Every structure is written in C-alpha cells, then in structure tokens.
Amino acid sequence: MTAWKQLSLCFFLLVAGLAAAVAFVPGAAGLLRGAGVPEAVVAVVAPGKSDTGEKQASAANGGARRGQNVPLVVTEPVVGGIVNDRLSAIGTGDAIRSVVVMPQAAGTIREILIKSGDRIKQGQVLARLDDDEQVIARGQAEVALRSASEKSQLYRNIKSSVSRMDVFDAEIVEQGAKLALQSAELALKRRDIVAPIDGIVGIVPVVVGDNVTTTTSIVTLDDRSEILVDYWVPERFANTVKVNQPAEATSVALPGRVFAGVVEAVDNRIDGASRTLRVRARIDNAADELRAGMSFNVGMRFSGETYPSVDPLAVQWDGEGAHVWRVADGKSSKVRVSIVQRNPDAVLVKGDLRDGDLIVIEGLQRVTEGGDVRFARDVAQASEVITQ
C-alpha cells in the first residue's frame, strides 16, 4: 500500500473515532471546542448539541456532586416504653397448713388407721400406741378416788365426832384423787395419735410394732386447699408490692395453665446479701391440682414508668457519655441521654426526647451538629420515579 493511501486510511479512522466519541460520550462537543476545533466542524460531527444543553448537564452533574456530600440517613421515630410494669419471679409452693404429726408419748405402735393419700378430719385417730399400763393406772386412780370420796363423805356426816382438821384433810385427799384420775385419763388419751388439722395424708414412715418417741415423725398432713408461694423480688419493687395485690402463677407441671391469686404477705426488710424482698402469694387450689413443693413462676403487673424508647443502633458514645442524633427540619442535632434499661429490640433512655422525634439509626458516621441530612427513603422514592 502506498503512503498516501495509508495516510488517507488513518485520517478516516481518526474522523470516525471523533464522531463516535461525540455521539456516545456526554460533553465531547465541549472538549472539541476547547481544543480549537471550528464550530462548523463540531456542528457537523455533533448535530443538535447546543451550549445550553451542555450547561444544563454540567449544572446537573455539579448538583449531584453537591448532594452526594450531604449524609444519607435512616431514621425511626421515638416511641414511649414502659419499665418496671411487670414482675416475674420463681418461687416454691407450700400447703397453707402443713403439720408433721408426732406422738405425745413414747411407746410401741399397736395400730395404724390411715394410709397415704387419705383425706382426714381434725381429731381423727391416725394410730394407737400400746396402752395396757395406762389402763391399769386409770383403774387405780378410780379406786383411789372412790375411797377418798367415801371417807370425805363420812367425815362430813359425823362432824360432831371428828375434828374440822380431819374433815379438811379428807377433802384434800379427795381432790388429789380426782386430779390423779384426770392425769391417768390424759395419759391414756395420749396413746391415741390424732390429726391436729384437716388434710391429706402423706407417706406413712412407721409400721405396727415400731417403738416411737415424742420426736418420731408418724406422718405429714397437708391442707392444700390453698397454696402459699414464697418468692423474692428486686428491691426496686419494695414500695410497689402490696398485700392483696393480684398475682398469677404458672407451674412446670401444668404448662399453659394460669392460676390466680393474691399477695398474702410482704416481708418487713430487704435481704442484705441478695438485695431482694421476700413476698408470699396465696393461690386457690380448690380443684387440688397443685402440690406443696412445686416450683412456680409468679407474675405481677404494675403501672410502671414511661421513658423514650429508641433503636439500640441509635445510641452512640463519646467522651461525655451516651447520645443520639435527632433530625428536625432536615438538620441533625445531638441529644444527651442516659440509659434506663436495655432490651433486645429497644433501649429505654432518659433525655430531652418526645414521642415522634426522628432519631438516626443508620448513616451516623457523617452526621454532624447542625448539619444537613438526606433521608434514604426520599432518595429511594426519587430513584423509582426516574426508573418509571
């Protein structure tokens, strides 16, 4: 190929490249003008491109660049959160009355009249001890009383023949015999082991023939018509929990069941080691579904205290403590707060915040005091409109 043909081909490729650049690259016409290319040539390679269009494009690009310098943030409104409005504690149940029955005298068990699970009434005989010796003692006391009574009666009838002192001594002997008989009857009565309360019999640990003393446990009786649940609450509830306040209890043994009750008693002091207060609730058990010794989850509700609630991501820290960024009229401002309570999905704070205030939760790195901010939702909506 000759040299002039090669030069012609290079010139043709150069012109084609310029035309393609002008057609597909925004602002290429302006570059050609800046390079000194005559306007007539520019008009030929880039028809329809005017100075006004170039200026508008440049202004739009500059505005976009300036908008990109304004922080893009995501906000959430402040809502009210309640603290100390409910209480949940673990407690242990006990029968409203529970008695360990022990004999009032030592001896050998002769008879057992109950079995585990029996419902018994107060005064019912549960077991009997051997009583041969006591029966004999009562008979001797009866004979002694009969003799003393007859002698005293005889002396009273023949006052003229005996001294007043003899009559007085005979009456004293008669009174002593009466007391001896009462003592013998009481000793015999105590050979019967009786129920001191209405209740349900537990496991009987003794058998006929066992020798027992006054410290031997014969059986345990539980009156479980109501269950008492002792539990411990944090000391911040010390002035909130009151007697007769409603309470609810649930048991692992009966999942899904809620038993209503009331506060029976509140202790008069805080435990110094655990910083808790002992409380006792009374739960109705008319259906006999609960047992002494069960574990219960006791719940109580209170009016509580209301504080601003914000997203955990909104709380930031610096040398002066915790703060959040509030947005009002497109401007951001720092608000100092103190943490009241942390929850998994929100943080309750104390500070100059009102319900509905917009708090920044994303884009916090570039937010400054009094600076402009853009809302991410507005940018997203604008993008959707442009796309459509």
Please check whether residues 326 and 281 belong to one and the same domain.
no
Q: Is residue 66 part of a domain?
A: no
Predicted local distance difference test score (pLDDT) of residue 54 = 46
Predicted local distance difference test score (pLDDT) of residue 13 = 66
Percent of the chain with pLDDT over 90: 53
Report which of residues 26 and 214 the model is more confident about: 214
What does the block give as tokens for 199? Answer: 């209740």
Residue 318 pairs in a beta bridge with: 321
Please check whether residues 272 and 337 belong to one and the same domain.
no
What's the mean pLDDT in 257-279? 93
What does the block give as tokens for 302? Answer: 């209170």
Q: Is residue 232 part of a domain?
A: yes
Q: What is the CATH number for 269?
A: 2.40.30.170
Alpha carbon 190 to chain centroid distance?
50
Predicted local distance difference test score (pLDDT) of residue 345 = 85
Q: Is the pLDDT of residue 12 over 70?
A: no
* DSSP at 236: G
The region that residue 19 occupies, defined by phi over 0 for left and psi between -120 and 50 for alpha, beta otherwise, is alpha
Of 124, 129, 127, 128, the residue nearest 196 (C-alpha): 124
What's the mean pLDDT in 251-264? 91
Q: Is residue 65 part of a domain?
A: no
Q: Is the pLDDT of residue 354 over 80?
A: yes
Please check whether residues 298 and 347 belong to one and the same domain.
no
- Where does a domain end: 274, 302, 330? 302
Residue 194 pairs in a beta bridge with: 125
Q: Is residue 382 part of a domain?
A: yes
Predicted local distance difference test score (pLDDT) of residue 385 = 46
Please check whether residues 262 and 205 belong to one and the same domain.
yes
What does the block give as tokens for 229? Answer: 């649940």
Q: Is residue 91 part of a domain?
A: yes
Total domains in the chain come to 4
Q: Convert the pLDDT of each residue in 144-166 to its tens digit.
A: 999 999 888 888 777 667 777 88
Please check whether residues 226 and 214 belong to one and the same domain.
yes
Report which of residues 160 and 86 the model is more confident about: 86
Predicted local distance difference test score (pLDDT) of residue 60 = 42
Please check whether residues 79 and 91 belong to one and the same domain.
no
The domain of 364 spans 72-83+306-387
- Where does a domain end: 302, 337, 357? 302
Q: Is the pLDDT of residue 49 over 50?
A: no
- Label residue 63 by pLDDT band (50, 70, 90): very low
Contacts of 296 (CB under 8 A, 6+ apart): 90, 91, 92, 93, 229, 231, 249, 250, 251, 283
What's the mean pLDDT in 198-219? 94
Contacts of 133 (CB under 8 A, 6+ apart): none
Contacts of 42 (CB under 8 A, 6+ apart): 22, 29, 32, 33, 49
Report which of residues 154 and 67 the model is more confident about: 154
Distance, CA of 308 to CA of 316 (rounded, Å): 16
Q: Convert the pLDDT of each residue in 327-338 to its tens digit.
A: 998 889 999 999
Q: Convert the pLDDT of each residue in 177-192 to its tens digit.
A: 999 999 999 999 999 9
Predicted local distance difference test score (pLDDT) of residue 3 = 61
Predicted local distance difference test score (pLDDT) of residue 42 = 57
